[in-house]
Chains A and B, each alone.
Chain A
Amino acid sequence: DVQMTQSPSSLSASVGDRVTITCRASQSISNFLNWYQQKPGKAPKLLIYIASSLQSGVPSRFSGSGSGTDFTLSISSLQPEDFATYYCQQGYYFPWTFGQGTKVEIK
């Protein structure tokens, strides 16, 4: 299975900060990398698909980049509603696999 490794596992940031989360695949997955946001007790919500495409309705402060094995999710100016856990997911090989998650907490 393709291993997805996110870093950091958690981070503390303030409202207005720029936040960057990285995701590394154990082998090339082209650009078949997606990002989800999950809040406690809720289902994951799709933010970014195919590495850099913004899902409809998602604020433009979220962006994604990368290809091959290295990917990045950025939040340009952190808002109170952005405090959550973020997961990357590869959809290139079966089984689909997820990163372990990055929890973004309030500093």
Chain B
Amino acid sequence: QVQLVQSGAEVKKPGASVRVSCQTSGYTFINYFMNWVRQAPGQGLEWIGKINPSGVSPSYAQKFQGRVTITRDTSTSTVHMELSSLRSEDTAVYYCARENIKYGGFCDYWGQGTLVTVSS
């Protein structure tokens, strides 16, 4: 069965960087786009970006351009999301989510989420 297992919670200071990992199993890793979505405490969902099967030219929301990098490691079927220059507003649960291969535009499997806390 498809599984997306994310790395554990992180506590970071303002200005630092964080890397969240998403290890996948149960499907052909290189065939699917992977997205990242975050949710601040008590708030809604916000799309961060995605990486395509080739790993070339990820797409990022303008809001995060210059601060986010999404990469993939085909040898371990893992996707990473690194966010830099952290500020308190980046405190959120970060989710990886697999994009549907047939239609695109939505995510059919999600990781369990990783809480990132930014605090001095």
Of A50, A98, A101, which is within 8 A of B103 by CB?
Answer: A50
Which A residues lie within 8 Å of B106 (CB)?
A: 34, 46, 49-50, 89, 91
Interface size on B, residues (CB 8 A): 23
Find the B residue at minimum CB distance from A36.
B45
Contact A95 B45 (CB under 8 A): no
Interface residues on A, range: 20 to 34
Which B residues lie within 8 Å of A101 (CB)?
A: 44-45
Chain A min CB distance to B15 (Å): 25
Contact B44 A98 (CB under 8 A): yes
Answer whether A91 and B95 are a contact pair too, CB < 8 Å, given A43-B112, A97-B47, A98-B47. no
Which of chain A's residues 56-107 have a Cβ closer than 8 Å to chain B? 87, 89-92, 94-101
Check B31 for interface membership: any CB of A closer than 8 A: no
Of B46, B61, B104, B108, which is within 8 A of A46 by CB?
Answer: B108
Check A28 for interface membership: any CB of B closer than 8 A: no
B59-81 to A contact mask, C-beta < 8 Å, 1/0 = 10111000000000000000000
Contact A43 B44 (CB under 8 A): no
Some 28 contacts from A to B, beta carbons below 8 A apart, are: A32-B105, A34-B105, A43-B97, A43-B110, A43-B111, A43-B113, A44-B37, A44-B45, A44-B95, A44-B97, A44-B110, A46-B106, A49-B100, A49-B106, A49-B108, A50-B103, A50-B106, A87-B44, A87-B45, A89-B45, A92-B105, A95-B47, A96-B35, A96-B105, A98-B45, A99-B44, A100-B44, A101-B44
